[in-house]
Structure 1
Amino acid sequence: MTRFWVGGYGSAMDGQAEGIGLLAGDADRQTSLAYRGAVTQTPSPSWLAQHPTLDVVYAALEADAGVQAFVRSGESSLQPLGEPVAVGDGVCHVAVAPRGDFVVASCYGDGRVVRIGVDPQGRLIADAVNKAAELRAALLGEPLEAAAPAGVAASASDPYAGARTAEGGERVSHAHAAAFLADGRIATTDLGFDLVRIWRHGAHGLILDHEVALPMGTGPRHMVVHPSGHLHVVTEYSCEVFTLAAGVDGTWAVVGSVLTSPIAEIGTDFPAELARSRDGQFVYTALRGSNTIAALRVRGAGESLEPFALADSGVDWPRHHLVHEGKMLVAGQRSDTVALLDLDERTGAPLGIRHRTVVPTPTHFLPVR
């Protein structure tokens, strides 16, 4: 049976979700999904991430500025695994390291990027970061801040110092997502400062390696790592996808960019998630505003993209979408619905809306493993 954990916005984020929900299909009707209710009582678990080897799910508690671990307690149930860990204002994304030994949380509100340790059972162990930092500082005679206490990484600086937003306001750091790269480093986006930041993982936290500045006002939001190793980054403000690659010296740089769709309207459309097909031939983004799905074909060795289709998402304000077994699920934040779209097996184009179901303020899908 096809099943998905569903993250959502609760009352503190002007939503109706009561916690992590369950979306499931009948054994005989895999393309007919129904919402089975909340399986946790969790305020605004807006992003979910799976541990690579354990039945543990991590949730970004966006309204509560924390991250919490949940362990599978039954076929379709979760229970808390320890207490939430405070990370920062507006935490909107969490990514788990390939070995499952730490997670990286991104905070839209205050721009923080935070590394949290994970123990062998999947529990979050942020306090251990503090203790390790304090011990190292004492042994080496260093000031405590040199040891990166609490797992908070170095804050971002605006590469366009003195610039203003399109509305004339002050530019502010907004960390938004993290992705683990094939070479073991970590990429994070800063939507407010137009940055993709590249990190190394040290014994006591994240160490900034270098940064890639995108054009001012683009707003890098989410990323997907292509099987070729290229990094595709969708921008919320300029409706583009930038492709980054590492040079022979390991320094990442932009190697290409393309509009998500020739008819995307900047200032009206705001791309959200970026997802790829399993074989890496296609990537898809959702345009909030026109409420459409834009499909792009991957060219060459992954270094360039070509938009080729635009389709109705079936929802209002498509905040997240997921390609799963030749179909696409789309979360409509403002319509309290989830839509299931068919995808053309040969061309990758969205074909149409197969099914809709009511789900309270959905913001993220995670397949139940």
Structure 2
Amino acid sequence: MTAPRDLWVGTYPAPDRAAGSGEGVWRVPVGADGTFGAPVLAAEAAAPSFVALHPSGRTLYAVAEDAPGAVSAYPVLDDGALGAPATIASGGSFPCHLLALPDMLWIANYGDGVAAAVPLDPATGAWAADAVSRFPGRGAGPQEDRQEGPHAHFTAAVGGDALVVDLGADVLRRYPPQPTAGSPAALAATLPAGTGPRHLVALPGGALVVAGELDARLHVLVPAAPGTWEPAASYPATVVDASSPEHRYRTGTLLHTADRSYPSHLTLTGDLLALGVRGADVLSLHRAVGDAGAAPRLEHLADVPLGDGAWPRHHAVLGPVADGRLLVVVARQGTGDLAAVLVDPATGQGDVVDALPLPTPPACVLEAS
């Protein structure tokens, strides 16, 4: 990475404010050295906590994380601005993640656990249908305050299918690329009870790494029967003790005492895993190591401090800069800003080199091209 890049940034409402109280989607430039430019409000929108770009680059999607939920499709204009959105229902409540494929948009509705899909025009990413197909989840887990029912939290394209990560039921659900509305999900994997799976990445050899939000571990799953995986090993998300010092994060009218770690977003760059960990408030770096015929193992490299109360919800890895380090932009929801972090991919060591406050808390970071 040598030239400046533009980012799309989704945000939450300000603490104690309802959805639609001034938050929106921002366009933010960042230089190769991690220096941010002036942000531009591209669209005012209600709780656009997650954004995704169509593979054509011509449409940007943003959730409205509310009940009932919605998803808006914004045309990306030639000058990089956003046109007027076309908005549809998300098929459930509190949508929190999107997977944009050439001909299908998958939606994870956290509130009621419904996964949903809507056809797209492969050339432009515009809606090819007016309504979504709904795929309800089922099940619960042992942590009653977070696992009283299904909670779809993430979707990923793996092996030609769509995998839905269900935090509430401790499972991965699998759907074909062209699903039929109401068809049952195939069970792709069952995680240990209380894992609270949140995000995943697929390793080149076919294994999966799943971030457990509720048990603060990274789980390695290996292929079993076709289209299924089974747990092989798990590793601590971080070596930082989140209870010392105590971190506090305010959201809405609730004050949470983060006396433990809550993993959030997980990315894979080569063999390097980057995991945001709330509570501990670090970017945790691990290396995936594989031996022929054996399950991959994870080696913890380092934890990059992001500042007390950062609550890193999401990040984007923008690639190596001139000196070989990776530029990672982190959405620090708790402190209400973006952080640019330069990370040595060999050691995992890194430093925050710039920060950009936004009017409302950032929740998602996406490279604009």
TM-score, normalised on structure 1? 0.83
Residue deviations 1:285-339, cap 9 Å, x none? 1111121111111111572212221120246111111211211111111211111
CA contact (8 A) 1:9 1:16 kept: no
Deviates more, 1:238-247 or 1:307-316: 307-316
Is the 2:139–2:168 contact (alpha carbons within 8 Å) kept by the matching residues of 1? no
CA contact (8 A) 2:22 2:44 kept: no
Runs of 4+ aligned residues of structure 1 deviating over 3 Å after TM superposition are 11-17, 262-267
Structure 1 residues 52-76: Cα deviation after superposition (integer angstroms, max 9, x where no partner): 1241111111126011111111433
What does 1:350-361 correspond to in 2, within 5 Å? 350-359=349-358, 360-361=360-361
Write the distance in 1 (CA, Å) between the matches of 2:213 and 2:147: 18
In structure 1, the partner of 2:332 is: 332
1:322 and 2:316 equivalent? yes
Q: Which runs of 5+ in 2 are unaligned?
A: 244-258, 320-325
| Aligned twin of 2:166 | 190
Measure, in 1, the Cα distance between the counterparts of 2:213 and 2:179: 34
State which drifts further: 14-23 or 253-262: 14-23
SS of the residue corresponding to residue 280 of structure 2 reads coil
Q: Does 1:66 align with 2:59?
A: no
Aligned in 2, Cα 1:126/1:290: closer, same or farther, shift over 3 Å? same
Give, in angstroms, the shift of residue 345 of structure 1. 4.0
Instruction: Give CA-to-partner distance per residue, 1:168-220, whole Å, 9 cap, x none.
Output: x8722111000000x21121111111111122234534652224221111110
Find the counterpart in structure 2 of residue 144 from structure 1: none
> What RMSD over aligned residues (CA atoms) do the two structures have, in Å?
2.4
1:272 counterpart = 2:276: no
Query: Do the aligned partners of residues 8 and 170 (structure 1) sit closer, same or farther apart at CA in structure 2, a change above 3 Å counting?
Result: closer
Q: Which residue of 1 aligns with 2:23?
A: 18
- Given that 2:19 and 2:46 are in contact with CA atoms closer than 8 Å, whether structure 1 keeps it comes out as no
Quote the Cα distance in structure 1 between the aligned partners of 2:116 and 2:226. 27
- Structure-1 residue corresponding to 2:107: 105
- Distance in 1 between residues matched to 2:179 and 2:282, nearest whole Å: 43
Per the alignment, residue 8 of structure 1 pairs with: 11
Letter in 2 for 1:352: D
1:157 paired residue number: 139
Instruction: Give percent identity, aligned residues only.
Output: 25
State the SS of the aligned residue for 1:20. strand
Question: What does residue 304 of structure 1 align with?
Answer: 297
Answer yes or no: is 1:225 the counterpart of 2:193: no
User: 1:140 is matched with which residue?
Assistant: none
Contact 2:223 2:229 in 1 (8 A): yes
Alpha-carbon shift at residue 284 of structure 1 (Å) = 1.4
Q: Report which of the two has the higher share of helix.
A: 1
CA distance in 1, matches of 2:204, 2:58: 25
> Could you tell me which amino acid in structure 1 is paired with residue 177 of structure 2?
H
TM-aligned CA distance change 1:203 to 1:334, over 3 Å: closer
Quickly say closer, same or farther: Cα 1:197–1:265, change in 2 above 3 A.
Answer: farther
Cα distance change of structure 1 residues 164 and 6 upon mapping to structure 2, 3 Å threshold:
closer
Q: CA deviation at 1:94?
A: 0.6
Q: Tell me which residue corresponds to 1:179.
A: 156
The TM-score, its normalising length taken from structure 2, stands at 0.83
**1:88-99 map, 5 Å:** 88-97=92-101
- Alignment deviations for residues 220-257 of structure 1 (CA, whole Å, 9 cap, x no partner): 01112223332211011111111223225442212221
| Cα distance in 2, alignment partners of residues 364 and 202 from structure 1 | 27
Aligned-pair distance for 1:35?
Answer: 4.1
